[in-house]
């Protein structure tokens, strides 16, 4: 039974372009259709070859943006179901939250920010909205996927109110006002923290697999050490290298349980009765306890110091930025080098010339960006893959 503060698809604020709901294919409500439109989109499919932690990994067992998004959705659905929230909206937000990331993750984003300096800059969150409302357009009657207001709102401000939206997000808000100054739905808040829970822990798994992290390093993190001791107590006869999966599962379970207990208490104490009450609460109602929040921040500091800023990762990021910057320079100097109808659709003036070129680059997968760089710029030596 949904809670009164859960988003209700029958009460959606609608879509920017009205549709005849009687033509819906199959017995799906508005949020289910949003989720399915995202799953069937080209933007979503491209996530399978976009960096999560490691640049274009050859190993089949490393996570990419696609598998990460699916894992976030699994965690988000569990939390939403337990709290009585709308699972379909939560899942849609989890699946779509990384669609705006360019190739090579944050390294690619830094290069695009530099390319658009003075032209409005680049932000992957704003680019998610742009991809889903303008660029990925499989339908004959409107641009974009024409998602519901609730889905767009959740993608725009799942990390909290936005007081200074970047140009792409501002454009989406101008077209379909998303009340950026308020908090998002509880479903969007769940999606945001499900993302944190997933990458906090799955990046540990990938770091160990790649050999960039060791168990001894990890045991310097108090919350990891505590969970490891629990694993060893439960499975004293099992070799240590067989217990890393159990360690990760224990971590995720502890974080999810803490989040559910803390969020349920916060919702009750706030007295919210409807989705709009939650938006107007003045604070996020989905979150960790103080102790877990401190532990999670400590884990993030460890991961930045030991994995994300590992010398191998920094060297790969330098190569990635060179590829993205080189592609932008080449296409800006000679737009006809872009394939398909991209040159024909080139705007006539700035900032839209640069933004159009960035639209093309931002949609690339890692491997496609490497291929295009070698075609239009020249050879580049890439770090050895894992």
pLDDT, tens digit, 9 for 90 and up, residues 104-138: 999 999 999 999 999 999 999 999 999 999 999 99
**pLDDT confidence of 386, banded at 50, 70, 90?**
very low
How many C-beta atoms surround the C-beta of residue 60 within 10 A? 5
- In this predicted structure, which of 193-197, 201-205, 270-274, 380-384 has the lowest mean pLDDT? 380-384
**pLDDT confidence of 26, banded at 50, 70, 90?**
confident
The CATH homologous superfamily to which domain 26-184 belongs is: Hypothetical protein af1432 (1.10.3210.10)
Handedness of CA 220, 224, 228, 230 (dihedral sign): positive
223-241: per-residue pLDDT in tens?
999 999 999 999 999 998 8
- Tell me which residue of 49, 6, 48, 54 sits closest to 31, measured CA to CA: 6
Q: Give the single-character DSSP code of 140.
A: S
CA atoms within 13 A on the CB side of 307: 27
350-378: per-residue pLDDT in tens?
999 999 999 999 999 999 999 999 999 99
pTM: 0.95
Q: What is the pLDDT of residue 58?
A: 63
Which residues of the chain does CATH 1.10.3210.10 include?
26-184
- Tell me which residue of 37, 46, 103 sits closest to 69, measured CA to CA: 46
- Tell me which residue of 334, 313, 295, 337 sits closest to 386, measured CA to CA: 313
Task: Report yes or no: 169 and 126 within 8 Å, Cβ to Cβ.
Answer: yes
Task: Report yes or no: 206 and 53 within 8 Å, Cβ to Cβ.
Answer: yes
How many C-beta atoms surround the C-beta of residue 43 within 10 A? 18
Neighbouring-strand partners of residue 148: 15
Handedness of CA 322, 328, 332, 338 (dihedral sign): positive
Q: What is the pLDDT of residue 53?
A: 80
3-state SS assignment for residue 15: strand
Angstrom distance (rounded) from CA 58 to CA 337: 28
How many C-beta atoms surround the C-beta of residue 4 within 10 A? 12
289-335: per-residue pLDDT in tens?
999 999 999 999 999 999 999 998 899 899 999 999 999 999 999 99
- Tell me which residue of 365, 358, 372 sits closest to 126, measured CA to CA: 358
Residue with tokens 């990938």, as numbered in its chain: 206
CA dihedral 223, 225, 227, 232 (to 10 degrees): 180
Indicate if the pLDDT at residue 345 is higher than 50: yes
Indicate if the pLDDT at residue 56 is higher than 80: no
Angstrom distance (rounded) from CA 187 to CA 84: 10
Angstrom distance (rounded) from CA 256 to CA 216: 25
Task: Report yes or no: 183 and 189 within 8 Å, Cβ to Cβ.
Answer: yes
**pLDDT confidence of 51, banded at 50, 70, 90?**
confident
Which burial class, exposed, middle or buried, applies to 177 when counting CB atoms under 10 A from its CB (0-12, 13-18, 19+)?
exposed
Question: What is the average pLDDT across 169-194?
Answer: 97
In this structure, the chain runs to a length of 386
Tokens found for residue 363: 């949609």
Angstrom distance (rounded) from CA 260 to CA 159: 18
Which burial class, exposed, middle or buried, applies to 18 when counting CB atoms under 10 A from its CB (0-12, 13-18, 19+)?
exposed
Angstrom distance (rounded) from CA 253 to CA 270: 26
Q: Give the single-character DSSP code of 206.
A: H
Angstrom distance (rounded) from CA 32 to CA 151: 11
Tokens found for residue 102: 């360019």
């Amino acid at each position: 039974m949904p809670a009164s503060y859960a988003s209700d698809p029958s009460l959606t604020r609608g879509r920017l372009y009205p549709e005849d709901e009687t033509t819906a294919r199959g017995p799906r409500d508005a949020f289910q259709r949003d989720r399915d439109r995202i799953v069937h989109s080209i933007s979503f499919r491209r996530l399978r070859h976009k960096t999560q932690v490691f640049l274009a990994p050859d190993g089949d067992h490393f996570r990419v943006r696609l598998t990460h998004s699916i894992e976030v959705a699994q965690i988000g659905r569990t939390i939403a179901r337990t709290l009585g929230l709308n699972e379909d909206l939560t899942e849609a937000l989890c699946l779509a939250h990384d669609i705006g990331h360019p190739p090579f993750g944050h390294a690619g984003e830094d290069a695009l920010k530099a390319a658009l300096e003075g032209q409005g800059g680049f932000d992957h969150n704003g680019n998610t909205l742009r991809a889903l409302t303008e660029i990925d357009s499989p339908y004959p009657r409107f641009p974009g996927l024409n998602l519901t207001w609730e889905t767009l709102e959740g993608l725009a401000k799942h990390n909290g109110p936005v007081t200074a939206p970047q140009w792409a997000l501002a454009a989406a808000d101008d077209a379909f006002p998303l009340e950026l100054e308020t908090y998002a739905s509880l479903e969007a808040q769940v999606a945001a923290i499900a993302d944190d829970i997933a990458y906090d822990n799955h990046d540990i798994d990938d770091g160990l697999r790649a050999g960039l992290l060791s168990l001894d390093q990890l045991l310097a993190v108090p919350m990891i050490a505590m969970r490891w001791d629990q694993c060893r107590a439960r499975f004293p006869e099992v070799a240590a290298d067989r217990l890393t999966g159990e360690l990760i599962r224990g971590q995720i379970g502890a974080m999810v349980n803490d989040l559910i207990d803390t969020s349920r208490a916060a919702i009750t104490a706030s007295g919210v009765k409807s989705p709009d009450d939650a938006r107007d609460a003045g604070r996020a109602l989905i979150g960790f306890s103080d102790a877990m929040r401190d532990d999670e921040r400590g884990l993030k500091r460890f991961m930045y110091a030991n994995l994300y800023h590992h010398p191998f990762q920094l060297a790969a990021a330098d190569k990635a930025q060179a590829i993205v910057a080189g592609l932008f320079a080449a296409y800006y100097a000679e737009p006809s080098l872009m394939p398909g109808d991209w040159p024909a659709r080139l705007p006539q003036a700035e900032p839209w010339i640069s933004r159009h070129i960035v639209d093309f680059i931002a949609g690339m997968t890692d491997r496609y960006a490497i291929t295009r760089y070698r075609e239009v710029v020249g050879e580049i030596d890439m770090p050895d893959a894992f």
